[in-house]
Amino acid sequence: MIQATKQLNTANWPPKYDLFGVGVSATNYDEAVDATIAAAQRRESAVVSLHAVHAVVTASGESDLREQVNTFQMVAPDGQPVRWALNRLYRTGLRDRVYGPEFMLRLCAQAAADGVSIYLYGGSPDVVETLKNNLLQKFPGLEIAGYESPPFRQLSAEEDEEVVRRINNSGAGVVFIGLGCPKQDRFAFEHAGRIEGVQVCVGAAFDFHAGEKRTAPDWMQRNSLEWLFRLCQEPRRLWKRYLVTNSIFVAKFTMQSISRLWKKKQPV
Which CATH number characterizes residue 100's domain?
3.40.50
pLDDT at 229: 67
Residue 216 and residue 230 in one domain = no
Q: What is the pLDDT of residue 179?
A: 96
Q: Is residue 8 part of a domain?
A: no
Note whether 144 and 183 are same-domain residues: yes
20 and 147 inside one domain? yes
The DSSP letter of residue 15 is: P
CA geometry: angle at 229 spanning 224 and 233, to 5°?
155
- Where residue 8 falls among pLDDT bands split at 50, 70, 90? very low
80 is a domain residue: yes
In this structure, the answer to whether residues 130 and 230 fall within a common structural domain is no
Q: What would the pLDDT profile of 81-115 be if each residue is shown by its tens digit?
A: 999 999 999 999 999 999 999 999 999 999 999 99
Cis omega before residue 182 (within 30°)? Answer: yes
Find out whether 7 and 73 touch, Cβ atoms under 8 Å: yes
Q: Domain check: are 201 and 239 in the same one?
A: no
Whether 94 and 205 map to the same domain: the answer is yes
Q: How confident is the model at residue 50 (pLDDT cuts 50, 70, 90)?
A: very high
Containing structural domain, residue 231: 226-263
Shared domain check, 181 and 83: yes
Number of domains forming the structure of the chain: 2
How confident is residue 243, by pLDDT bands cut at 50, 70 and 90?
A: confident
pLDDT at 216: 67
